[in-house]
Structure 1
Amino acid sequence: MELNVFLPPQALKSGAKVPVFTRLTHRVGGLQIEGEDEAYDFGSGAGFYVDATKEPWTKGYNMYSYITKELPEALFSSFKELDSDRVSITGHSMGGHGALTLFLKNPGKYKSVSAFAPIANPINCPWGQKAFKGYFGEDQQQKWKEHDATELVKQWKGPLEILIDVGTGDNFYKQKQLLPENFVEAAKAAGNDKGINLRMQPDYDHSYYFMATFADDHVAWAAKHLGA
């Protein structure tokens, strides 16, 4: 996997540990599995942050373990400047799905979470259904729910604060691939919606220009929760 790490100057000069802000994207490193490069929404184009249980995807398609276990161990052992007790997470599109599910599946691991145009209810959208059938199998509905933010938020205990931005001009939003309202409604039904800030941004699409426009807000959101 390709990885970029930015260390601010103060971390290199002072020796003080700095908090970590992780941004998730959607691609998986190619593993030469037949068919993995055929679609943008499956295989190397979209690993969905799960540990696959269906062959042949078990051979390396373990993004959940990679992000929650392997990568932190490698980072914190290699960069002593990083504070392993202060980590926040964000992501865009499928990376937004990953950010939400990783946060909700691991209470206390991340200080905060935010997302740009996340796939918030994958078991009820074509993208998610295709991915989960491929990685888990069609008969593994419970496994599907374990990686769906809308299902996970129903089980959350205690206060919950999340920042989500979605553009109203996003074609994938219009095609019912993202379904952020389902996430908010599930949180509301469970009494966990008070701290969820879903911002529908007029006319913005799914592009990185959308992310760039509101990136400062997400950095500030993380900084507040990280005590930075």
Structure 2
Amino acid sequence: MSFTTTAEIAQFGGKLYKLSHNSVTTKTKMDVNVFVPSKKDESTKLPVLLYLSGLTCTPNNASEKSFFQYFAAKYGFAIVFPDTSPRGANIAGEDDSWDFGTGAGFYVDATTDPWKNNYKMYSYVHEELQSELASQFPDLDFSRISITGHSMGGFGALSGFLKNPGKYQSVSAFSPISNPSTCPWGEKNFGNYLGPDKEAWYKYDPTHLIKEYSHENQPTILIHQGKSDGFYKDKQLQPEIFEAAAKDAGYKGGVDLNIVEGYDHSYFFIATFVEDHAKHHAKYLGLVE
């Protein structure tokens, strides 16, 4: 399967590629942005950071606002920015609200009608997309990959790390939906995509997944959360519950939870702390001491 390149944008000595392809998983056209820095050593492949975006976002939001590419170029890793849902599946109701359906795939594989035919974002992000990009970009090493994300994407990063033991070298999150089984966003999306049985929800919920996680790869989980974030105040995010679950489970790397005064849910917040996350992943990817 080939990608169509819609733009190549030079930045920080590397290139941001804006791509699209026809996904066999979602049965729709999917957009993805990939930043490839210049290689310091032509004989080696570049490790990869997977960035999962939040509700309503396209691949362009983080590409334009996070400043991740600057630090990716500095430390020497590529970044993949997937989309947040199928688009144009033409399912009744998928465009009725901003926090469900289009732009809100929630990084799960839907099991209910009418969503299960297209809304397979878990398999798309963790399987198909990476396999296809590995063929498109032979200089990228998808065996050395880490994962991060914001809000819904922060949930997707935590969930994806815990559901794929040993696959991702490290994980971090900005303002993650940390306990979706007990918050309005999670109840709305899990209920519609996965049905009413909460046992199905727990298979994606980071707070439940970490209780069963036993793989030897247990890096520190870095989380930043703005204290002035309205969604944090409304109990949509609940990072402290995830932190407590990790501690109770004896997760060796621990959770480095940073609640920072004055910051909200926006990309201004992300851009402020993005260097901390870039350094975190560079360390586990073997790029810095």
TM range (shorter): over 0.9
2:201 maps to 1:147: no
In 2, Cα distance between the equivalents of 1:82 and 1:45? 27
- Residue segments in structure 2 that go unaligned for 5+ positions in a row: 1-29, 55-83
- Residue segments in structure 1 that go unaligned for 5+ positions in a row: none
In the TM superposition, what are the counterparts of 1:1-228 in structure 2 within 5 Å? 1-10=30-39, 14-26=42-54, 27-30=84-87, 31-138=89-196, 140-157=197-214, 158=216, 159-192=218-251, 195-228=254-287
**Does the 8 Å CA contact 2:246/2:254 hold for their aligned counterparts?**
no
Alpha-carbon displacement from aligned partner over 1:72-108 (angstroms, at most 9, x marks no partner): 1101111000012210110000000000000000011
- Which has more helix, going by share of residues? 1
User: How many residues in Structure 1 have an aligned counterpart in Structure 2?
Assistant: 226
**Does the 8 Å CA contact 1:15/1:81 hold for their aligned counterparts?**
no
**Does the 8 Å CA contact 1:93/1:116 hold for their aligned counterparts?**
yes
TM-score (norm 2): 0.76
RMSD between superposed Cα atoms in Å: 1.3
In 1, Cα distance between the equivalents of 2:284 and 2:113? 40
**Change over 3 Å in CA distance of 1:192–1:94 after alignment to 2:** same
TM-score (norm 1): 0.95
- Aligned AA (2:264): D
In 2, Cα distance between the equivalents of 1:20 and 1:63? 19
Runs (4+) off by over 2 Å:
none
In 2, Cα distance between the equivalents of 1:9 and 1:33? 41
**Change over 3 Å in CA distance of 1:184–1:193 after alignment to 2:** farther
**Does the 8 Å CA contact 2:105/2:119 hold for their aligned counterparts?**
yes
Structure 1 residue 160 displacement after superposition = 4.0
Identical residues among aligned pairs (%)? 52
**Does the 8 Å CA contact 1:39/1:45 hold for their aligned counterparts?**
no
In 2, Cα distance between the equivalents of 1:62 and 1:24? 15
